Amino acid sequence: MPSILWPADRNKRESSQEPQGLLSQAQARLNAIPAPVLALTAFALGSVTSISGALVYRRYFRRIPNGDWVTPDVLAKRRWVKGKVTSVGDSDNFRFYHMPGFGWRWPLKFRRVPSTTKGELDSTQLKDQTLHIRIAGVDAPEAAHFGKPAQPYAEEALSWLREEILGKTVYCQLLRRDQYGRTVSIVTLSPRLLPASWASGKSLSLEMLRAGWVTTYEQAGAEYGKWGKEEFLRVENEAKAARRGMWANGIPAESPSEYKRRYAQLENSESVKVVDKRSSTEPSSKKPTATATAAAASKGKGWLGRLFSRS
């Protein structure tokens, strides 16, 4: 007895035949395309994919190992980079490990920042893998360097900065190089709630000024970001009025810029003294004797002149 197909069975057979029909139609259309056109299309798609992948990797995933890799093109674009602070040497600069792309945090953590405390690298190796960042727009009390004494509050300012950023993620806008090879940068802290792509964090320079541990840098080439110099000066005056940080006992006798200017003048005067001392100790030229003078004069005469001079 022949079986009767119910509507449900018919629908199942039709649905199973639909993908096969679509696949055969696509195969027929593909076979209708000439082979050279198909090869050229595949080559073009492969080239576009490779170039796009290289550009995306270069912009979002390639790490900048150290300052030597910060090209003029990167500085001209004023590129923002994300990274972790590995060390704080002075009150206005630090070492920064670039962390591009993703993979640095759970649940997709497959990349990590090397550490010197765990014995993975020594300090020299980590130094070669980090950027030396100079915080833009501020000037901190000078620590003891090259035989120069430290300014008051230099140690307190350094302790505050270490507490604020050491081991944490910050964002740096790379601006230019200074005379010491450091990369001057606008630095912002990581946003607390929203991702950094949606909102920017607080300005580290303004937070340092607000805490009273730095002054506004007003020399040539100073950078203040989107906040401007007026906002920097306003926050500094606010900290002075509230007697925060190094303003606790009033205005210090010497600002960081005045300190550097004074020692620069002392170094110049010392170098001038050394040059004068060297010139005074050089042996003076000996005066020619009478015999040598007469011999030189006789050389300038001919045989007839020497004959009459003897007589």
Contact 225, 200 (CB under 8 A): no
Pairing of strands 131-135, 215-216: unpaired
Neighbours of 84 (CB within 10 A): 19
Categorise residue 137: left if φ over 0, alpha if ψ from -120 to 50, beta otherwise. Answer: left
d(CA 97, CA 242): 35
Active-site residue flag, 162: no
| Identified catalytic residue from 142, 207, 231, 236 | 142
With vertex at residue 74, the alpha carbon angle to CA 73 and CA 80, rounded to the nearest 5 degrees, is 155
Catalytic residue among 182, 210, 231, 236: 182
What lies within 8 Å, CB to CB, of 221 at 6+ separation is 176
Q: What are phi and psi of 199, to 5 degrees?
A: -150, 145
Tokens found for residue 25: 């139609």
CB 168 within 8 A of CB 188: no
Query: Is residue 134 flagged as an active site residue?
Result: yes
Q: Strand 138-139 relative to strand 215-216: parallel, antiparallel, unpaired? A: antiparallel
Q: How far is CA 178 from the centre of its chain?
A: 10
The one catalytic residue in 134, 207, 231, 236 is 134
Q: Which amino acid is at 232?
A: F
Cα–Cα separations (whole angstroms), residue 116 to 68, 98, 106, 217: 22, 16, 22, 33
DSSP 150: P
Report d(CA 97, CA 83) in Å as an integer: 5
Structure tokens at 214: 């730095």
236 part of the active site = no
Catalytic center residues: 134, 142, 182
